[in-house]
Amino acid sequence: MDAFKGLPEAKVIWDPSELEPFRVDESHLRGVQPLAVVKPHGPRALRELVHRAKTEGFGLVPRGAGTGKAGGCLPTERTVVVDFSEWPGDIQVSPQDLCLRAPASAPLREVKGSAEALGLFYPPDPNSWESCALGGTLATNAGGPNACKYGMTRHWVLALDALLEDGEIHTFGISSVKANAGPALGQLLIGSEGIFGFIVGATLRLTPMPREFATLLLPVKRWEDLLDLPGLLCGAGYLPSAFEFFDPAVLAELRAHGPEAARRLPGEALAILEFDERGCTSEPFLEGLLDLLGPLADGLEIASDARQRQGIWAVRRLTSAFLKERHPKKISEDIVVPRSRLRDFFLGLDRLGCPAVSYGHLGDGNLHVNLLAAGETDPVVLEHQLMDLFRLAISLGGTLSGEHGIGLAKRDAFLALSDPAQIQALRALKRALDPQNIFNPGKVI
């Protein structure tokens, strides 16, 4: 491939058999074969790639660790995958500035670990946190259980280094929470899935590491009883750092076929609640909580040590992979509704007759609604089921993606269901920032 000959500071892969792994991520989709995969090792490679993309007319698709759930890093027609796994740079923590600098290639696990080693906390915790790369979490604005209290990735970014269409890396933001000189352009790049430019590094905000955890298993007999709880707790000043749930179908499947630890899970449905503020294991705190829960507190179990806490989280963390293994062709969505509309959402889902099972982040209304039989469903029927699901979430003041993003998987639905003025504005931005449409073409908008 002439277009890639003599590319400086880069490793280039174009042997078709070696390109195969780059056609998949953690979504149910498969990309086309890319022209090549380039692993840049420095800014010269990116400058040259942008130049060649413009002159030879191919697109550039960014890739982190390939753990995305919406197909954002999958190659489309006439594209080159830019794999940032070998992008250079170290993780540097500044306790004085309560921040951390890291390259896009840094594994999120190491980012969180470097902060923790100095008693500091970087909260974003997508389910893939042990295998994903920081760059991917920035491009997709990743979430996770802790978003319930701490917010999303975008709430923890102070500054960004990003490749723009001039082929250069530019920095947006500074190492302080206060930076108000004009609109925050860096925020536009976070969660944009690489359509405006590629994030190559970031300065992240940190906070002191919580040291006390109250981790609770809350089994219920009637699963609807869980649905008002997130709102009730928040309204009463109890903000959990995580509030996860399994509906009866998911819990039954975990119990019947899951690992040993899952077989002991109690209840017809189950919530995992965690608090992490100082004093959350004290009697007054827990008594207040029990009062609030009333009769629901009857089966409550409190993890008594770190091992038990880890055991509970291990089951929650494997749920996605476990269901995928049992239902390889399932489709998993990640709609959101405001906490106060959770009951209305599940009533609506029943009314639609949607054959779905659910688990996920009840505390912030972000639900992983799974269509287990998607593979055996007539594609036209499936399409209707998904659109009905998205419409229901939107009609309740929610949205079609809480944390996984749009990518390829939800592009059509996003275009069909969004305010046309918003899509027009996004397209105008795309034209302004990437007039030749070289950055992740065919994604999101």
Nearer to ligand 2HG, 70 or 158 (CB): 70
Residues 6+ apart with CB under 8 A from 128: 26, 65, 67, 108
- Least Å distance, CB 277 to ligand 2HG, is 23
Distance from C-alpha of 132 to C-alpha of 65, rounded to nearest angstrom: 5
Q: Which two tokens stand for residue 392?
A: 């229901």
Under the rule (CB under 6 A), what is the footprint of ligand 2HG?
127, 319-320, 332, 334, 360, 368
Helix-helix angle 248-257:306-326, to 10 degrees? 100
Shortest spacing between CB 66 and ligand 2HG, in angstroms = 14
DSSP string, 147-211: HHHH--GGGGEEEEEEE-TTS-EEEEE-SSS---SS--HHHHHTTSTTSS-EEEEEEEE-EEPP-
Locus of tokens 């992490």: 276
Q: How far is the CB of 332 from ligand 2HG (least distance, A)?
A: 3
Shortest Å distance, C-beta 412 to ligand 2HG:
19
B/e letters for 366-405, b = 16+ CB within 10 Å, e = fewer, are: bbbbbbbebeebeeeebeebbebbbbbbbebebbbbbbbb
CB of 402 to ligand 2HG, least distance (A): 9
* Nearest distance from C-beta of residue 231 to ligand 2HG, angstroms: 21
Which lies closer to ligand 2HG via its Cβ, residue 238 or residue 245? 245
In DSSP terms, 217 is beta-bridged to 272, 301
Nearer to ligand 2HG (CB atom), residue 148 or residue 293: 148
- Residue among 30 and 351 whose Cβ is closer to ligand 2HG: 30
| Residue whose CB is less far from ligand 2HG, 203 or 241 | 241
203 vs 319 by CB, closer to ligand 2HG: 319
* CA dist., res. 96 & res. 12, Å (int): 40
Task: For ligand 2HG, give the closer residue by CB, 133 or 206.
Answer: 133
Nearest-approach distance from CB 368 to ligand 2HG, in angstroms: 4
**Least separation in angstroms between CB 409 and ligand 2HG:** 11
**Can you name the residues that pair with 220 across neighbouring β-strands?**
269
Residue 92 CB contacts under 8 Å (≥ 6 apart), including other chains? 100, 101, 102
CB nearer to ligand 2HG: pick between 79 and 332: 332
